[in-house]
Structure 1
C-alpha cells in the first residue's frame, strides 16, 4: 500500500513542477511586456502632398512616371506657358507706353505750371498798378475844388484807375484759367501701379506653369499624361515625402504608462522581418474615434477597430514612431510592421537595418 502511495506522489511532482515553471514563465512574459510593450497592429507611414498646378493649362511636359523617385527641385510637369508669357509681354509693353505718356504729360504739366506762375506775377503787377491809380485819384479829387488840378487831370486819373482795375480783373481770370489747366500725373501714376501689379501676376503665373518637387520624394497615383488639360488646384498625382519615415503603432491604453516623446523603439516590417530598425516615439495620439456610447468626436480622429465587441477591451491609441535610418527600398506607406517600445533603454542605438 505504501508503495502505491509513493508511486502516486512521484507522478504528481513532474506535474507540479510543470505548473510552477509555467507560472514563472507567464510572470516573466508579463514583466517583459510591461517593460517593453509590443504590438503587431502597426503600419508604415510618411507625409504626402497632392501635386496640383496653380494655373490652368494643357500639360506640355510630364517629366516623371508613376512610382519614380525624385529629388528636391526636379521638374515634375510643365503647363503650356504661352498664354502667361503673352500676358507678361503685354504688361511690359503697357508699362513702357505708360512711362512715355507720363514723361510727356509731365512736360506739359511743367509748362502749364510755368504759365500759371507767370500769370500770377502779372496779377501782382496789375494789382500794384490798380492800387497806385486808385491812390492817385484819391489824392487829386480833393485838390480839384481848390483849383490846384484841372478837371481834365482828375478825369485822366479816374480813367487810369478804371483801366488798371479792369486789367487786374482780367489777370485774375487768366490766373484762374491757368491754375485749372494744370493737370497732374497722379492718375497716370496710379494706373502705372495697376500695370506693375498685372506684370507681377503674369510673372508669378509663368513661374507656376513649371511645377518642381518641393522635397525628395516618390511619385504615386499618377494617372495622366502629356496633353491632359490641368485645372488649377486639382491634384495630378501624389508625392510621398521620403525624407522622414514613421511607423504608426496602435498600443493599448494600459501600455502607454511611461511612454512619451523620445522613448526608444525597435521596429521591423512584415515584408522583411530579418531587419530591425531603431527609432524614437515622435508623438502619442490624444484622441481616437469612438463609435460607442453616443460620444460625438471630430470625424478627423483616427479610427481603431475593436476586435471583441461583446467584452470591454482596452482602447488602442496610435503611437507615431520616427525611424532613424529606414531602408528606402523597403519602406512603403501602409506596409505592416511590428513595434516594440523600450522605455527603460537609454540612447538612440545604431543597429538600424542590421540582420538578426
Structure 2
C-alpha cells in the first residue's frame, strides 16, 4: 500500500515539475515573442473617407448613384442645374465681344486722330514757311506789308503750332484710355477672367467621384438644393486602405519599416495575408485637453498597468482582399522583426491556428 502511495506521489511530483517547466517555457516564449514577434488583436482596417461637396450652388437635376454604389474615379455622381451657368457663360462671351469691338473702335479713332496730327503738321509747315517769308520781306523792305498782313501771318503760324499740339495730345489721351491692344488690355483681362470663371462654374455642375470607392451617407434626390462646399455624400475610398494595429510600447522596440507581417481578417476566416510595416506613430493623445489631433488610444485598466499602445501602420499587399475589406473591419496581426526561426515558426503556427478558429468567432 505504501509503495502504491509512493508511486502516486512520485507521479504527482513529476507532473507538477513538468507543468512548472512548461509554464516557465511559456513565460519565456511570451516575453521573447513580445519583442521578436509582437502580435495584437487590436487592429482595424482604415482608409480614406472623402466628403463629396459641390463647387457651385444649384438644384440637383440628376442622380446617378445610390447608397452603397461602387463608383470609379471621374464617374458623374450628380448633376446641378446648368441653365444659370450657361447664361453666365453667354453673358461673359458677349462682354468679351463688346470689349473686342471697343478696342477695334479705339484703334480706328487713334488712326483718325493720327491722320489729323499729320494734317496739322502739314498746315504748320505751310504756316511756318509763310511766317518766315513775311519776316524776310519785312526785314528787306519794312513798308512792303501792312501790319494786318503781318498779324495774319503770325496768327496763322501760332494757330498751326497750337493745332499740332492739340491733335498730338488727343492721340495720347486716346492711347492712354485704350491701353494695350493685346491680351494685356485691362478690360480684355477682366472679361476673359469673367468668362473663365463662368466656364469653370459650368464645368463643376457635374459632381464627379474624386476616387474609386463606395457611396455612404447618401440622402440626395432630384430637387435637392446643393450648396457650394456643403457635403452631399461620403465616399469611402477602396484605393487607399491600410491596417492600424495598436501595439504595446514594449512591442515596438524592435519593429522596423518594411518588416513582414501576417494578417488575418474576420471577414475572410481561415486565410492569412501578407503585409509590411509602413510607419510607426510618434505620439498619442493622453488626455482630453489636447487640441493637437493626435491619435487617441484607449487602454484597459486592471490590476497591472497596461503599457501604452501606439498605432503601427501596415500596408496590405494582396489587391484582392482590398476589395472585400470594409473600413472598421477587425484584424489580428503578427510582426516578424528578425530571423529567429524558432520564434518565427511558433508565431506562424499560432496565427495559423487563430485563423482557423476565426470560423467560430
Distance 2:316 2:82 in 1: 41
Q: Alignment partner for residue 186 of structure 1, among 173, 179, 183?
A: 179
Q: Which residue of structure 2 lines up, in the alignment, with residue 321 of structure 1?
A: 314
Return closer, same or farther for 1:11/1:177 CA change in 2, 3 Å cut-off: closer
Is the partner of 1:22 in helix, strand or coil? helix
Q: Which moved more, 1:272-281 or 1:80-89?
A: 272-281
Which among 171, 174, 181 is matched to residue 163 of structure 2?
174
| Equivalent position to 1:163, from 152, 166, 177 | 152
Q: Are 1:238 and 2:234 an aligned pair?
A: yes
Q: Contact conserved, 1:289 with 1:298, CA < 8 A, in 2?
A: no
Whether the aligned pair in 1 keeps the contact of 2:238 and 2:323 (CA below 8 Å) is: no
Q: Which residue of 1 aligns with 2:200?
A: 204
Q: How does 1:18-37 map to 2 (within 5 A)?
A: 18-37=19-38
Aligned counterpart, 2:346: none
Number of residue-to-residue matches in the alignment: 334
Q: How far is 1:5 from its partner? A: 8.7
Structure with larger Rg: 1
Preserved CA contact (<8 Å) 2:36 2:254: no
Aligned residue in 1 for 2:103:
102
Matching residue of 1:332: 326
CA distance in 1, matches of 2:255, 2:129: 98
Q: Which runs of structure 2 are paired with 1:1-356 in the superposition (5 Å)?
A: 3=3, 6-7=6-7, 8-141=9-142, 152-153=143-144, 155-156=145-146, 159-182=148-171, 183-184=174-175, 185-186=178-179, 189-291=185-287, 297-308=290-301, 312-326=305-319, 327-344=321-338
- Looking at structure 2, the residues matched to 329 and 192 of structure 1 have their Cα atoms a distance apart, in angstroms, of 52
CA displacement at 1:309 relative to structure 2 = 6.5
Q: Are residues 65 and 2 of structure 1, via their aligned partners in 2, closer, same or farther at CA, if it must alter by over 3 Å?
A: closer
Whether contact under 8 Å (2:35, 2:252) holds in the other structure is no
CA deviations over 1:227-272 (Å, ceiling 9, x no partner): 1000000000111221121110100111111213222212122233
Superposed displacement of residue 106, structure 1: 1.6
Distance change >3 Å, CA 173–CA 56, structure 1 → 2: same
TM-score by length of 2: 0.84
Provide the secondary structure at the position in 2 that maps to 1:47: strand
Q: CA deviation at 1:20?
A: 1.1
Unmatched segments (≥5 aa) in structure 1: 142-151, 347-353
Any conservation in 2 of the 1:264–1:345 contact (CA below 8 Å)? Answer: no
Change (3 A) 1:107 1:42: same
Structure 2 unaligned regions, length at least 5: 341-351, 357-361
Paired residue secondary structure (2:41): strand
Given the superposition, is the C-alpha separation of residues 36 and 207 from structure 1 closer, same or farther in structure 2, using an over 3 Å criterion? same
How far has the Cα of 1:329 moved from its partner?
4.5
Partner Cα separation in structure 1 for residue 198 and residue 247 of structure 2: 52
Give the TM-score taking structure 1 as reference length.
0.85
Q: Secondary structure at the match of 2:306?
A: coil
Bigger CA drift: 103-112 or 75-84?
A: 103-112
Match of 2:343 in 1: none
Report SS of the residue matched to 1:245.
strand
* Stretches of 4+ aligned residues off by more than 6 angstroms: none
Which residue in the other structure is 1:351 paired with? Answer: none
